[in-house]
């Protein structure tokens, strides 16, 4: 099988723009390769790097540092899903679940920028099970609901989808750009 070629930014933004709503999930580390790639990609989606019209649908995002804060800086009117007290692991999982529920109810697309390989045990499910990773838990939950997910895998994580086959089998690689590869589950 031949590896996917570089994917144009126009193809990615066109795919994303076909959805009425998009939600973002990603690394909390602003210095990760995932966050760096997101910060290079987001100006294109916001219409700042191309001079073209920005994404005009509704944007949803969490309240964390890293990718979430980058999305908020490019889309200041984004719907922000906040962690509700008491602040504990369950509260973070509930925040991610609310975001995924909103994306699926809006016939939207989840866009994810993970910075680590998927933890063992994460699989498509109808309940949040991230095993320590909010991003991978959100990806698996969205796939479990049968909704589309676009995942950017930084080159530092390798050239294959870094998850168990139970999750990886839902994704196909659609191309490479911004220092990594794009994978889509429809």
Structural domain includes residue 34: yes
Structural domain includes residue 1: no
3-state SS of the chain is CCCCCECCHHHHHHHHHCCCEEEEEECCCCCCHHHHHHHHHHHHHCCCCCCCCCCCCEEEEECCCCHHHHHHHHCCCCEEECCCCCCCHHHHHHHHHHHHHHHHHCCCEEEEECCCCCCCCCCCCCCCCCCCCHHHHHHHHHHHCCCCEEEEEEHHHCCCCCCCHHHHCCCEEEEEECCEEEEEEC
Mean of the pLDDT values across residues 137-161? 96
- Residue ranges making up the domain that contains 31: 9-185
pLDDT digits (tens, 9 = 90+) for 83-106: 999 999 999 999 999 999 999 999
pTM (2 decimals)? Answer: 0.94
Domain count, the chain: 1
Structural domain includes residue 141: yes
Q: What is the pLDDT of residue 5?
A: 56
Q: What is the pLDDT of residue 3?
A: 44
Q: pLDDT tier at 119 (50, 70, 90 boundaries)?
A: very high
Q: pLDDT tier at 145 (50, 70, 90 boundaries)?
A: very high
Structural domain includes residue 59: yes
CATH number, domain with residue 141: 3.40.50
Q: What is the pLDDT of residue 57?
A: 96
């Amino acid at each position: 099988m031949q590896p996917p070629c570089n994917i144009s930014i126009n193809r990615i933004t066109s795919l994303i723009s076909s959805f009425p709503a998009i939600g973002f999930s990603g690394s909390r580390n602003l210095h990760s390769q995932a966050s760096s790639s997101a910060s290079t990609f987001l100006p294109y989606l916001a219409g700042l790097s191309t001079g073209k019209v920005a994404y005009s649908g509704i944007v949803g995002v969490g309240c964390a540092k890293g990718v979430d804060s980058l999305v908020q800086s490019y889309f200041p009117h984004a719907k922000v899903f906040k962690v509700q007290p008491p602040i504990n692991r369950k509260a973070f999982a509930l925040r991610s679940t609310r975001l995924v529920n909103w994306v699926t109810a809006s016939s939207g697309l989840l866009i994810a920028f993970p910075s680590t390989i998927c933890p063992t045990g994460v699989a498509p499910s109808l309940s949040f099970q991230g095993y320590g990773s909010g991003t991978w838990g959100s990806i698996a939950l969205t796939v479990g609901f049968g909704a589309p997910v676009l995942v950017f895998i930084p080159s530092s994580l390798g050239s294959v989808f870094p998850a168990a086959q139970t999750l990886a089998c839902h994704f196909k690689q659609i191309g490479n750009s911004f220092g990594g590869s794009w994978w889509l589950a429809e």
